Amino acid sequence: MYYFFILLLGLATPCLAQVSAGHLRCANRVNPLGIDDAHPSFSWQLSGKGHNILQTAYEIRMNEGFTTGKVYSSNSIGIRYSGPPLAPGTNYSWQVRVWDNRGNMSSWSRPAWFQTGLQVPGNWKAQWIVAGFPEDSVNRPPPVFRKEWMISKKIKSATLFITAHGLYEATLNGQRIGEAYFTPGWTSYDHRLQYQVYHLTLKEGKNQVQITVGDGWWRGIFGGAMTNNHYGKDAALLFQLQIEYADGTSNSILSDSSWQSGAGPICYSDLYNGEVYDQQMKAISWTGVKTAAGYSKGNLVATISEPVTRQEVLPPVKIFRDPNGEQLLDFGQNISGWVRFQPRGKAGDTIAITHAEALDKEGNFYTGNLRAAKARDVYVLDGEPTQHLEPHFTFHGFRYIRVEGWQGELHPGDFEAVALYSNLDRTGSFTCSNPLLNQLQHNITWSQNDNFLDIPTDCPQRSERYGWTGDAQIFARTASFNRNVHSFLSKWLKDLAADQGSNGGMSVIIPDLNGHGNTGPKKGVAGWGDAATIVPWTLFQAYGDTSVLEAQYASMKGWVDYIRSCVDTSHGDYLWKAEGYGDWLAPDTLQTPVPFISQCYFAWSAHLLALTAGALHRMEDSLYYTGLYEKVRATFLKEYIPLPPTQTGQVLPLYFDLLPDSLRIAAVEKLVALIRTHHDHLSTGFLGTPYLLPVLTRYGYTDLAYRVLLQETPPSWLYPVKMGATTIWEKWDAITPDGTVGDKSLNHYAYGAVGDWLYREVAGIAEEEPGYRTIRIQPHVGGGLQFVRASYECPYGKIVSEWKMEKGRMRLHVEIPPNTRAVVYWPENEAGAPQKIGSGVYDFWAGMGAVKKKIGLTNVSFKEFIYNFGF
Ligand code: RAM
């Protein structure tokens, strides 16, 4: 039994101090460059002393003279710009002030700014250029493009708009431009090629830019078949620099036929195999360039997500020789990125660095799970005292490296592993009294880091690294706790929509590497294609942003209509029998039938679409898809009762609420029995795993959920932890107890989807309505945990939920940010009412009498959880 209290924060404490507005975001980012949205969104957070701060009004003003005037609204996130049309390539600064519920007015916030992009293809004056020299068709060294020019006036500002077919790295007067790597990123290039915007510091006199364009996803070797030229044959550059002078004049430096090109010191580069770099190549022999008038500018779009940047830099924890005598370094953490090192050797020495995730059973360097990826960077040294070396247009998933060709001793200080991934704000933290669970959380966050390299990938090491849709949809909820994935996943969803088939069908990977040119019909796989509905819905829950739903609506609808179109309804049934991957990698010999899974997802997607239509006030659609959902569900009940006797066979219908009350109890009991026959172990694969513990908790079996979570023998989450994993494995026993490393990835975030349960149910932080305007705090004690500390930076600010056991009682500590409310549920409290302490900080003490009680099924209706969004 749970009591709940609604903290109506608008009521209680008297006015103590001024309110202020800070943490300004435009389009979810800090001072973004290159905004092409005509109505970018503004968000801010309130702060102030004392309890119960709510916003009652706001005013936004811009340097251009635009002001919203005082708007009576409690909204502080996602406010759309509503002023006069924004000009291209222009810097706008903005400020906000707010009024609170005690009549306080804040002062104007510190200014924030954003710079608009080029907005329309017609504003691109630059021309696409390609190398003018005959290319070595085997190695295809990335071309270097060069332009020099003089400046004789005082410069006011210089703004660069740049993109490439391939991956570019640009320097201005020898200095790298910007901190972004793997630009322009990977998108559905035919429809959406991103450009980036940089503010440059030019000098009076001679200026020079050099841009190297690597093969990347555009034309490099990529995909299981190790073929190249997926999007085109040439590496090409588009460069437009707008210079404003102090005297009010301006001019542009544009990529055109006046540029030069040459082969540079990077002799070879691709994402899987690695890079070859010749330090001895000192001077580039320059020739002209060719313009490529036929290359499109119609697909150019502004970049909405955060760039990939350098993140952690790790020193080696061990330098050693393996039993085979190979020279190895261990960096102690499985990462995505590369190794930066101080070369030592003489002219002509060749150093090769190969990357691996693991050592084999005998302790030897193991690359058997990389498939065709060579993951090898090769450097030919010039023998001169020199700076550090590192690759440019490749990345590797690794913890260990093998060094070949090194003369003499290796010094730990000469090597470091550089993690590279999308620079998303860290939003969540979770720690508890169980070190193994803390390591699990560590592994989840690292698999997220390593696989959020511009797109959400399945794995970062082998010759795959695709945006597998199934993996992304099951992990999205967890991902949104750990980091701010709002823009990152919104960007990927745009590619999902762009690559969707004309019939709404979907490739299982996005961007659709193999079928990107296909504008006709495509097929679809349950649990994978459903990323089209589940990911937007997940973002809506986390960020309260209906614009994601709006932007994806056609795609969501397209997907559900696609499934509907596969169904033969002539006998009144709505049965989707699609084949697919099923409960991928489920360890049980008895597998959950794929058509059953398809039917579950058909219902779930129809249901989420109906809710989405409701949230967007499309009432006709809402009714239609609710009706469709009911029919799909009715067919499900007709066809699939009794449920397949697997854990996933119970979990999906329970989580998706496909069963009438009369069948739920039996399904829950069956699930419990199936777990018991597996000696309190899970037996679920990719699709069943994320919902297993949430279902157990929902139906009052939190104790059992903890037991399953805390198992240390496979299949379990903690078995890899006990085996020394530093990331989440693709398969429960990717390394078997005798130390045999199979052919599976050791860095797949899918099973890390349990992270959602850790935040939501163990720490008890959840959205009571989308975007956390109302927060639910409902921790679940168990598993012998003595304390849990979690925090989550929601759009309004920081939420904290911490609990600890003290002398048989539970102390719950809660903090919630201004402009939110919370509903706090906690175990029956013998001690009475909660106490408030400090600003937005609350402490509760609960007697533990009720903790072990099962929640009656009637108290926990699915509808409460899913429909209770307040609209
Ligand atoms: C594997 C991928 C991915 C999974 C698919 C079905 O090759 O690694 O994780 O979604 O297959």
pLDDT digit string, tens, across residues 713-767: 999 999 999 999 999 999 999 999 999 999 999 999 999 999 999 999 999 999 9
Kindly state if the Cβ of 470 falls inside 6 Å of ligand 1. Answer: yes
Say how many residues make up the chain: 871
Kindly state if the Cβ of 731 falls inside 6 Å of ligand 1. Answer: no
C-alpha of residue 431 to centroid of ligand 1, in Å = 30
C-alpha of residue 837 to centroid of ligand 1, in Å = 49
Kindly state if the Cβ of 748 falls inside 6 Å of ligand 1. Answer: yes
Which residues are designated catalytic? 464, 730
Candidate of 475, 581, 687 to mutate for ligand 1, largest count of ligand atoms within 8 Å of Cβ: 581
C-alpha of residue 468 to centroid of ligand 1, in Å = 6
- Residue 851, pLDDT > 60, answer no
C-alpha of residue 755 to centroid of ligand 1, in Å = 20
Q: How confident is the model at residue 13 (pLDDT cuts 50, 70, 90)?
A: very low
| Identity of residue 337 | G
Q: How confident is the model at residue 832 (pLDDT cuts 50, 70, 90)?
A: very low
Candidate of 463, 509, 584 to mutate for ligand 1, largest count of ligand atoms within 8 Å of Cβ: 584
Three-state SS letters, 783-845 = CCCCEEEEEEEECCEEEEEEEEEECCEEEEEEECCCCCEEEEEEECCCCCCCEEECCCEEEEE
Kindly state if the Cβ of 537 falls inside 6 Å of ligand 1. Answer: no
Query: Whose alpha carbon is nearest atom 2 of ligand 1?
Result: 458
Q: How confident is the model at residue 17 (pLDDT cuts 50, 70, 90)?
A: very low
- Residue 864, pLDDT > 50, answer no
- Residue 431, pLDDT > 80, answer yes
Kindly state if the Cβ of 719 falls inside 6 Å of ligand 1. Answer: no
- Kindly report the CA angle at 697 between 695 and 703, in degrees rounded to 5? 125
**Contact criterion met (CB below 8 Å) for 533 and 601:** no
C-alpha of residue 469 to centroid of ligand 1, in Å = 9
Q: Give the whole-angstrom CA distance, residue 229 versus residue 215.
A: 9
Query: Whose alpha carbon is nearest atom 8 of ligand 1?
Result: 458
Q: Summarize the confidence of residues 84-103 as an average pLDDT.
A: 95
Task: Give 312-340 pLDDT, tens digit per residue.
Answer: 999 999 999 999 999 999 999 999 999 99
Percentage of the chain modeled with pLDDT above 90 = 87
Q: Summarize the confidence of residues 567-587 as an average pLDDT.
A: 94
- Residue 1, pLDDT > 60, answer no
For the CA of 686, the nearest atom of ligand 1: 10
Kindly state if the Cβ of 456 falls inside 6 Å of ligand 1. Answer: no
Task: Give 268-327 pLDDT, tens digit per residue.
Answer: 999 999 999 999 998 999 999 999 999 999 999 999 999 999 999 999 999 999 999 999
Kindly state if the Cβ of 584 falls inside 6 Å of ligand 1. Answer: yes
Candidate of 369, 371, 457, 458 to mutate for ligand 1, largest count of ligand atoms within 8 Å of Cβ: 458
- Residue 122, pLDDT > 80, answer yes
Task: Give 74-91 pLDDT, tens digit per residue.
Answer: 999 999 999 999 999 999
| Nearest alpha-carbon partner for 632 in 664, 595, 668, 665 | 595
- The model carries a pTM of 0.95
Query: Whose alpha carbon is nearest atom 6 of ligand 1?
Result: 581
Percentage of the chain modeled with pLDDT above 70 = 93
C-alpha of residue 458 to centroid of ligand 1, in Å = 7
Kindly state if the Cβ of 770 falls inside 6 Å of ligand 1. Answer: no
For the CA of 528, the nearest atom of ligand 1: 10
For the CA of 750, the nearest atom of ligand 1: 9
Q: Give the whole-angstrom CA distance, residue 50 versus residue 837.
A: 10
Kindly state if the Cβ of 462 falls inside 6 Å of ligand 1. Answer: no
Q: Which two tokens stand for residue 678?
A: 């597996």
Is the peptide bond preceding residue 184 cis, with omega within 30 degrees of 0?
yes
Q: Summarize the confidence of residues 627-633 as an average pLDDT.
A: 97
- Residue 39, pLDDT > 60, answer yes
Q: Summarize the confidence of residues 776-801 as an average pLDDT.
A: 94
Kindly provide the b/e burial profile for residues 276-304, where b requires at least 16 CB atoms within 10 angstroms of the residue's own CB.
bbbbebeebeeeebbbbeebebebbbbbb
Q: Which helix or strand (DSSP H or E) is residue 587 part of?
A: none
Q: How confident is the model at residue 200 (pLDDT cuts 50, 70, 90)?
A: very high
Q: Summarize the confidence of residues 136-159 as an average pLDDT.
A: 96
Q: Which residue has the tokens 């330098």?
A: 319
Q: Give the whole-angstrom CA distance, residue 553 versus residue 616.
A: 9
Task: Determine the pLDDT at residue 710.
Answer: 98
- Residue 140, pLDDT > 70, answer yes
Task: Determine the pLDDT at residue 609.
Answer: 98
Kindly state if the Cβ of 749 falls inside 6 Å of ligand 1. Answer: no
Kindly state if the Cβ of 40 falls inside 6 Å of ligand 1. Answer: no
Least confident range of 125-139, 335-349, 816-830: 816-830
Contacts of 257 (CB under 8 A, 6+ apart): 127, 129, 288, 289, 290, 291
Task: Determine the pLDDT at residue 843.
Answer: 67
Q: Which two tokens stand for residue 599?
A: 């039917």
C-alpha of residue 531 to centroid of ligand 1, in Å = 14
